[in-house]
Each structure stands twice: as structure tokens, then as C-alpha cells.
Chain A
Amino acid sequence: MSLTTGKSAFLEGFVAGMPFLLVIGPFAFLFGVVAVEAGLDVPQAVGMSVVVIAGSAQFTAVQLLSESAPAWVAMAAALAVNLRMAMYSAALQPHLGSAPLWQRVIVSYLNFDVSYALGISHFEERPERSTDQKVVYFLGTIALTAPLWVVGTLIGAAAGGALPDSALIDFAMPILFLAIVGPMLKTLAHLAAAVSSALAAMLLFWLPSGIGLLIAAAIAMAAGAEIERRRGR
């Protein structure tokens, strides 16, 4: 790979990723705030953003921990939220599977919704590009977002303790989750999964903290998959 084509692929990805900074910045700040609110200290909140580096799953874990759910329930629910990334990993494989192992490790660590969506649409438009260029483009899309996720968490966690109690803070997490869910309701199957998840979780809310959620998630997943199968997507 010549330096210039590598550079331009990185820049292309970098520019494509910029609009998402507007979303990731507040999202990261809010994670810092709610993590501290839930009882994590600042190093734990920031550590989680570095180690796990997956927004929705981190919010899920923190919410369940604040409800005093058992640790295994918090972990199971958060990992369930991340299972979609196995699908991302499989979709990227034909494009990036021939890259050296260390590059695939870095790409995997940085495989977010944003970088995946930008990456896969770019690779499908430009299949002729070399694996090197594709890796560099992918890293470009996330070059600012990933550090911002960590820095935003730090700022939010540091500021969180100083914020006054208000409806805006205690209800920030539900609003955020609903804002994440809204754009996901792309098909009847997605809608059915979402509705059955919400209903089942409420019906099973009397179960020990978080357990009802896990059962509801399994029911909802099956409902979505079954509707998709019948409609022959």
C-alpha cells in the first residue's frame, strides 16, 4: 500500500465518522453521569468505557447494578445486548478476514455500531479496494469516536457527582434507551420483538431483579425471529 492511498482512505473514513461525534459526545457524558449515579466511582466508569467500549451494553449493566441485580444477571443482559456484534463480525469477515491478526484484533475491539455501519456500506460500494485500505478506512471512521467515548465518560463521571438531583437526571437513562430503540424498529418483526420484550418484562417484574428481563429477552428474540421466518424476509 502506498502511503498516499492509505492516508486518503483514512481521511475518507475520518470524515464519514465526524457527524457521529455529535451523538457519541453527549452519550458518553451521560454514561459517566449515570454510572456515578448508580454507584460506580470515576475510575470504574472510565475503566468500563475503555475495557467494554460498547454504549448500550454499558448502560444496561449499570442500570441493573443500580437495581442491585445479581452480577451474573447484569453481565448476561449486557452481553445479550452485544450479541448483535457477532453478526457484524461475520459481515466484516469477507472484507477484512485476510488482514494480519493484530489488525483484526484492533478492528474487533473497535467494532461499534457506527464503524460497522460506515465500514460495511463503504466496502460494499468499493469492493475493489485492498484489505489494507479497508482496514485503514474502518479505523478512520472511529479515530475520534472511540477516544471521545472515553473522554466523555470521564467528564460526565467527574461532573456527575456535582449535578443536582432532578427529573432530568433520574430519567436520563430511560430516555436514552428509548431513543436507541426508536430507530431500531425497522420491520414488523423488530416491532413485535420490542413490544413482547416490554410486555413480558412488566409481567415478570415480580421476579428477582433482572431475571424477568432475561426471560423477556429470550421470548422477544424468539418472537422476532419467528415473525421474520413466517414472513419470509
Chain B
Amino acid sequence: MSHSAIEIWAIIAVLGAGTFLIRFSFLGLVGGRRMPNWLLRHLRYTPVAVLPGLVAPLVAWPSATGGDTDPVRLAAALATLAVAFWRKNVLWGALAGAATLGVLTWLL
């Protein structure tokens, strides 16, 4: 990692303050005003717009293999996503992915 300790602490402080302000926004700052619909419409998709983009390159080109696509990790990723979607449950999805990864790594 290329960041100094002071930089890390600064990032933590900014993230903490920013996250708090987001959480405090309507409860504390703007009160009962209604959010415009177009804004609500965009906010609804923020997590699902960031996380897949973060994870897709990690799955397709894992750093542990030097960027080569790895069938075992790919299978584990698909198992995770499928079970998490099917059971609507984070924990089951993660367990399915970890189990797939563990079993296939051991077998191959």
C-alpha cells in the first residue's frame, strides 16, 4: 500500500465525517422536506452501482494469480452470487462461496 499512516487516519476521519453527515442529513439538517423523486431514484441504486464494479475485475483478473482468470475463483464467485440472490441472505451466499472455493481448491 502506498499510503502513509497520517493519510490513512485522514481518510478515516473524512469518511467518518462524511458518512455521519449523510446519515444526519434529513434527521438533523434539512428536517421534513421531501426529497425530489429524481434524487430518490438515483440514491436507490448507489450500492448496487458501486459494489459490482468494484468486485468484477477482482473476480475476472484475481491478483493472486497475477491477473489470469481462475476457474476455481470464478466458480466460487458465481456460487456466492447465485445463493445470495436465491436465499436473499448475505451469510448463506458467503458460506456457499467459501465452501465452493475450499472444496475446489482441495480437489484440484
Interface residues on B, range: 35 or more
In angstroms, Cα B25 to Cα A8, docked, is 29
* CB of A178 within 8 Å of the partner chain: yes
Whether the Cβ atoms of B15 and A61 lie closer than 8 Å is: yes
Contact of A220 among B9, B19, B53 (CB under 8 A): B53
Most buried by A among B49, B56, B73: B49
Residue numbers in B under 8 Å from A47 (CB-CB): 9, 12
Whether the Cβ atoms of B24 and A181 lie closer than 8 Å is: no
Which residues B26-49 have CB closer than 8 A to chain A?
26-28, 31-32, 34-35, 38, 40-49
* CB of A68 within 8 Å of the partner chain: yes
Interface mask (B1-29 → A, CB under 8 Å = 1, otherwise 0)? 11101011111111110111011111110
Residue numbers in A under 8 Å from B82 (CB-CB): 182
Most buried by B among A64, A179, A229: A179
Residue numbers in B under 8 Å from A157 (CB-CB): none
In angstroms, Cα B45 to Cα A181, docked, is 11
Whether the Cβ atoms of A94 and B55 lie closer than 8 Å is: no
Whether the Cβ atoms of A66 and B1 lie closer than 8 Å is: yes
Whether the Cβ atoms of A175 and B97 lie closer than 8 Å is: yes
Whether the Cβ atoms of B19 and A56 lie closer than 8 Å is: no
Whether the Cβ atoms of A183 and B89 lie closer than 8 Å is: yes
Tell me the nearest residue of chain B to A83, going by C-beta: B46
* CB of A202 within 8 Å of the partner chain: yes
* CB of A86 within 8 Å of the partner chain: yes
* CB of A197 within 8 Å of the partner chain: yes
Whether the Cβ atoms of B76 and A197 lie closer than 8 Å is: no
Which residues B45-87 have CB closer than 8 A to chain A?
45-64, 72-73, 76-77, 80-87
Tell me the nearest residue of chain A to B64, going by C-beta: A170
Interface mask (A178-217 → B, CB under 8 Å = 1, otherwise 0)? 1111111100011001110111111001000000110011
In angstroms, Cα B28 to Cα A111, docked, is 13
Contact of B8 among A23, A40, A105 (CB under 8 A): A40
Would you list 21 pairs from A and B whose C-beta atoms are within 8 A, ordered by A residue?
A: A44-B9, A47-B9, A47-B12, A54-B19, A75-B15, A89-B24, A105-B28, A171-B64, A171-B76, A172-B98, A175-B77, A175-B80, A182-B90, A183-B84, A183-B85, A184-B48, A193-B45, A202-B60, A220-B50, A224-B45, A225-B42
State the 3 A-B residue pairs at the shortest beta-carbon distance, nearest first.
A182-B84, A201-B53, A224-B45
Chain A residues engaging chain B, CB cutoff 8 angstroms: 22-23, 26-27, 38-41, 44, 47-48, 51-54, 56-58, 60-61, 63-66, 68, 71, 74-75, 77-90, 92-94, 96-97, 101, 104-105, 107-109, 111, 166-168, 170-185, 189-190, 193-195, 197-202, 205, 212-213, 216-225, 228-229
Known: A74-B11, A181-B84. 14 other contacts (CB 8 A): A47-B9, A77-B50, A86-B35, A93-B26, A109-B20, A171-B101, A175-B94, A178-B84, A179-B84, A181-B48, A182-B85, A193-B45, A197-B52, A213-B53
